[in-house]
Amino acid sequence: MAETGSDQTGDMKHDSVSSPGVSDQEKEMATNAFEAFKAGSYDESLRHLDSLQELNKEDYKITMNKAITEFYKSGQTTTSTLKQALMTLKNQMHTAVDDIDGLDDVENSILYYNQAVIHYHMRQYSEAISIGEKLYQFLEPFEEKFAQAVCFLLVDLYLLTFQPEKALHLLAVLEKLTVKDGNSKNGKGESTNKESSALKAEFTAMIEAAKSKMHQYKVRAYIQMKSLKACKREIKSVMNTSGNSAPSLFLKSNFEYLRGNYRKAVKLLNSSNIAEHPGPLKTGECVRCMFWNNLGCIHFAMGKHNLGLFYFKKALQENDHICAQLGDGSNGQAAKKFTGIPMCALLANKRYELLYNCGIQLLHIGRPLAAFECLMEAVQVYHSNPRLWLRLAECCITANKGSSEQETKGLPSKKGIVQAVVGQGYHRKIVLASQSTQNTIYSEGQSAAIPVASMEFAAICLRNALLLLPEHLQHDSKPDNGSKSCSQSGSTESGSETSDACSGKTQEGDKFIPAAPSSPLRKQEVENLRCSILACSAYVALALGDNLMALNHAEKLLHQTKLSGSLKFLGHLYAAEALISLDRISDAIAHLNPENVTDVSLGVSSSEQDQGSDKGDLEPVESSGKQTPLCYPSSVSSARATMLFNLGSAYCLRSEYEKARKCLHQAASMVNTKEIPPEAILLGVYLELQNGNTQLALQIIKRNQLLPSVKPASSPDLRQKPLPFQSSQPVQPIQTPSSFTQVQRK
């Protein structure tokens, strides 16, 4: 947009020249000032403008041109000063964009356009869009070049704010405008001399450049919509007009990335000659930073998380290096104040987007504390992203339960259930391991709001995430077939066919939730995200000993209309554990019915897919082939065995030991011997001791396995016809096996 601003300054000079009622002397001064500005002689241009202002002190355009000349004289580094100067001029005119009915004085539109450009570079996109849309309403009186600049600015803003449908509509208008202008110019130039033919050639080149730019914008819009068929057609046009330039190869790589052709995407990126691309001072983009980031996104989608993290770190290093070169401070500190950095390079700093990506990658690798540090820095900028708050909570959860490769702290299965042997001979004692409590206090007197990777802070993060999700979307009964097609990964052609229908439907009630730096959350994505947040909230509440809150979250989770099998399984487990802690054993038994488990699929389709856009925008796509954690049931049979183990614990609390033993043996027959949790073995020891079978209990301890092994058909009635039970006296509850009640990290 820097070049657009420069060209527009020239337009302002011409306006002051051609204004009615201007003397020949003023015209000459204005022309001299404009020529000096184009030549880069800003001091000379300012002298002419000062002389012009002495003759005409009422013309605000002279003051505006002086402010812009001063801005260019400083190397475009005084963005805040220019913004303030333009705001002062607008206040002096006593007009506001919202009050404009017809823009009778079209010349004032340039002032508003320059304000929109500054808002754009300062990442104040909503303000820039409001100005641009007002200017767009009165496009006809503008010159062709200025009208084109307004349209391109709006298209860029729509794509940056993830409104591809509006961008495509505007591009269609812009295409008609360009073709119309081209035909009119060609018609006027039939009887011209050599000078006019040169101007005609220059105009033709400008038209071709505009068409090439429009093709690139269309590809970006189709990529955001995941409309692969339309995108494929436009990419051919881009390659024909732009050739193998870095922007066109980046777009094609992003297209192959969405299709799942990761190796081809990497090959296209490597073939782009990023060394020849202009730096951020001219384009406002750090291409090397985007190159490393895109490689990180691709390898993340391939499941190569360590390699993806390596590329993200390379992108961060490149970004910090560019920021240090552009401004006085490192890590983009100067960009926060918008001083010392050329305006066109303000958008080059992608530090927080890259930190977001690094955090997600570290979380998948199993380094939650490092991920927490990255995401805590990113949340300072993207605090309205509910998915980011969920990620922070997952960091806290993972950090407090250990990595997925580790066993639970209290019951290491490798050593069996024997913790120690004390004494010798007749006084020899076997000390059995006891499950450690999860309610560890990490704050130690400090406020839970202090950003520490603790379960207390996880509860705050999850509360923030829930508050950022609107309730009305959940109860909307309107069909959302189009949104489903749009929100899917787009790796198949069938998903792309319906995306054009999405473009028409989404404009009606765009109740999308902003989730910068990724695309806004659609209705189905909001519902899926709500389910994940509720599951994590129930888990955290159980870990903190807040059983009533845990039960509340679990019941809300189970009442969600579209709930995946994995989260439904967890919802029943968490509700049962909370009810057992509240001494409501009968209610807990209803949740622990194995028939409640019919599916344990982990796929919640699109709520967790953070797709990036064409510039390597800094959201990686989470791979659909997620690996099942070691602590999570891999099949319905294994999940039902988990329910039976916990059901046995519930029966044991009611002193119904025979039923507990049947549940235990039936569950053991449904899974591999190595998959039996140590808590179940301890329960078997307890049941044998209650039955007086001391020798059998000792055999279970020594062999570290349940005895005797029972075939699955030995107790079929337990799963099909659970018997009614009478309430019993309050018994100290035992916790359900922690290795099975862990939340699945999304």
Tokens 């990419």 belong to which residue? Answer: 235
- The reported pLDDT for the residue numbered 101 is 53
DSSP state of 620: P
Handedness of CA 556, 558, 560, 564 (dihedral sign): positive
DSSP state of 505: H
Half-sphere exposure in the Cβ direction for 719 (13 Å, CA): 23
Identify which of 730, 741, 738 has the alpha carbon closest to the alpha carbon of residue 437.
738
Choice between 397 and 505, residue whose per-residue pLDDT is larger: 397
Tell me which of 285-299, 401-415, 423-437 is least confident: 401-415
Highest mean pLDDT among 3-7, 75-79, 492-496: 75-79
What span, in angstroms and rounded, lies between the C-alpha atoms of 642 and 632?
10
* pLDDT tens sequence across 339-380: 667 888 888 889 999 999 999 999 999 999 999 999 999 999
Alpha-carbon 266 to chain mean position: 22
Structure tokens at 390: 């969920």
Mean pLDDT of all residues belonging to the chain: 76
- The reported pLDDT for the residue numbered 627 is 53
What span, in angstroms and rounded, lies between the C-alpha atoms of 196 and 726?
100
Residue 307: pLDDT above 70? yes
8 Å CB contact between 334 and 342: no
8 Å CB contact between 216 and 231: no
β-pair partners for 431: 420
Residue 285: pLDDT above 50? yes
Choice between 683 and 207, residue whose per-residue pLDDT is larger: 683
Banded pLDDT at 242 (limits 50, 70, 90)? confident
Residue 716: pLDDT above 50? no
Q: What does the pLDDT average to over 464-478?
A: 70
Three-state secondary structure call for residue 75: coil
Structure tokens at 219: 């590809």
Residue 474: pLDDT above 90? no
Three-state secondary structure call for residue 521: strand
8 Å CB contact between 627 and 746: no
> In sequence order, which residues have a C-beta less than 8 Å from that of residue 71 and are 6 or more positions away?
78, 79, 81, 82, 343
* pLDDT tens sequence across 83-124: 888 888 887 775 554 555 554 556 678 888 999 999 998 889
Residue 443: pLDDT above 60? no
If residue 272 lies in a helix (H) or strand (E), which one and from where to where? none
DSSP state of 522: -
* pLDDT tens sequence across 524-557: 889 999 999 999 999 999 999 999 999 999 999 9
Name residue 625's amino acid: G
Residue 301: pLDDT above 50? yes
- The reported pLDDT for the residue numbered 402 is 57
* pLDDT tens sequence across 170-204: 998 888 877 666 555 555 544 445 556 666 676 67
Residue 155: pLDDT above 60? yes
Tokens 């918008």 belong to which residue? Answer: 338
Q: What does the pLDDT average to over 402-418?
A: 50
Tally of CB atoms within 10 A around 499: 23
List the end-to-end C-alpha distance of the chain, in Å, as a whole number: 38
What span, in angstroms and rounded, lies between the C-alpha atoms of 250 and 269?
6
If residue 420 lies in a helix (H) or strand (E), which one and from where to where? strand 418-422
Residue 696: pLDDT above 80? yes
Residue 486: pLDDT above 90? no
Tally of CB atoms within 10 A around 628: 14
- The reported pLDDT for the residue numbered 217 is 93
Residue 288: pLDDT above 80? yes
> In sequence order, which residues have a C-beta less than 8 Å from that of residue 50 and are 6 or more positions away?
66
Banded pLDDT at 571 (limits 50, 70, 90)? very high
- The reported pLDDT for the residue numbered 330 is 42
* pLDDT tens sequence across 722-737: 333 333 333 333 333 3
Rg (CA), the chain: 33
Alpha helices in 327-350 (DSSP H): 333-337
Three-state secondary structure call for residue 461: helix
Banded pLDDT at 448 (limits 50, 70, 90)? confident
- The reported pLDDT for the residue numbered 322 is 86
- The reported pLDDT for the residue numbered 32 is 86
- The reported pLDDT for the residue numbered 195 is 55
Alpha-carbon 625 to chain mean position: 19
Name residue 88's amino acid: T
Residue 518 sits at φ, ψ, to 5 deg, of -95, 180
Structure tokens at 306: 């360590």
- The reported pLDDT for the residue numbered 439 is 42
Residue 49 sits at φ, ψ, to 5 deg, of -70, -35
What span, in angstroms and rounded, lies between the C-alpha atoms of 713 and 326?
73
Residue 450: pLDDT above 60? yes
DSSP state of 367: -
What span, in angstroms and rounded, lies between the C-alpha atoms of 679 and 83?
66
Banded pLDDT at 21 (limits 50, 70, 90)? low
Name residue 655's amino acid: S
Beta strand 513-515 with 418-422: parallel, antiparallel or unpaired?
A: unpaired
Identify which of 75, 93, 12, 25 has the alpha carbon closest to the alpha carbon of residue 55.
25
- The reported pLDDT for the residue numbered 416 is 64
Alpha-carbon 734 to chain mean position: 40
Tell me which of 150-164, 230-244, 393-407, 491-505 is least confident: 491-505
Burial class (CB in 10 A: 0-12, 13-18, 19+), 452: middle
Banded pLDDT at 708 (limits 50, 70, 90)? low
601 backbone φψ class: left, alpha, beta (φ>0; ψ -120 to 50): beta
| SS (HEC) of 280-298 | HHHHCCCHHHHHHHHHHHH
What span, in angstroms and rounded, lies between the C-alpha atoms of 156 and 162?
10
Choice between 509 and 294, residue whose per-residue pLDDT is larger: 294
8 Å CB contact between 372 and 358: no
- For 304, 574, 657, the CA distances from 631, given in Å and listed in that order, are 21, 15, 27
Structure tokens at 98: 């919202």
How many residues in the chain?
Answer: 746
> In sequence order, which residues have a C-beta less than 8 Å from that of residue 706 and are 6 or more positions away?
664, 665, 668, 676, 680, 681, 684, 700
Choice between 88 and 330, residue whose per-residue pLDDT is larger: 88
